Amino acid sequence: MSTPLTQADIDREIAELRELREREIGAGAGGAGDGREAHHPSRDYGPYRSTVLRHPRQPLIALKDPDAAELAGPVFGVTDVTALDADLTRQHLAEPLGERITVHGRVLDRNGRPVRGQLVEIWQANASGRYPHQRDDHPAPLDPNFTGVGRCLTGDDGGYAFTTIKPGAYPWRNHTNAWRPAHIHFSVFGTAFTQRLVTQMYFPNDPLFPYDPIFNSVTDERARQRMIAAYEHDLSVPEWSLGYRWDIVLDGPAATWMEEGR
């Protein structure tokens, strides 16, 4: 059984995170001279412990036959995606437990133009902060009526919409008393599986932000704020769900942070 953290321990960890962040900003935060902007996280961000083991150390390997890689990936046709896929509250016989929410947004390019017909996927923990995965042994209840996965295609305006349950926080053993803020994982596939981009959407005013190394690996404050959805009352459905807006910008200076090499 782990020893509870004192306030002094928490303050010391926050100070260490802040010191490391300032060093990375000064060094360009891109690691090994790759010229990336300072707000982009290092692939081996120390406080996020698994990146030390998992980050790439060798140059990328150029494929001799790029088309062969496309054949190895999954294929999604327009007819495969239904309205039920985007409503995670209606995928089972009964309703899931938790706070029902709707998330609206647009997928945009660097010039603010809509990116049409893109497959957007989400996956998340349930309201108790647990995934229906065999390796998730967090002692929180599973919800038999919530699988936590969904997908949709963007419309002509680049828009997407999901109805789901607000996920709970959960422990993740990265460090003592480590808890992940509530978040939803997003992926955008582009025109091929090998172009897949993955990111996370957070919720406003989460008290766990200062303690989360993944969130704080993004050292630029403006970039971090782009990872947080905005509550919009006009998107809430009366007596049904609370509404959030979160746009995804694929590249450029206003790009949404994507999880490179993770």
Task: Report the catalytic residues.
Answer: 131, 170, 180, 183, 185
Whole-angstrom Cα distance, residue 28 to residue 39? 8
Whole-angstrom Cα distance, residue 34 to residue 27? 11
Whole-angstrom Cα distance, residue 169 to residue 148? 14
Whole-angstrom Cα distance, residue 152 to residue 160? 7
Residues 6+ apart with CB under 8 A from 253: 110
| DSSP letter for each residue of 117-168 | T-EEEEE---TTS--SSTT---SS---TT---EEEEE--TTSEEEEEEEPPP
Amino acid at 22: E
Q: How far apart are the first and last CA of the chain?
A: 30
**Strands 248-249 vs 100-108: parallel, antiparallel or unpaired:** parallel
Whole-angstrom Cα distance, residue 243 to residue 181? 19
Whole-angstrom Cα distance, residue 124 to residue 183? 7
Chain centre distance of CA 71: 27
Whole-angstrom Cα distance, residue 110 to residue 5? 43
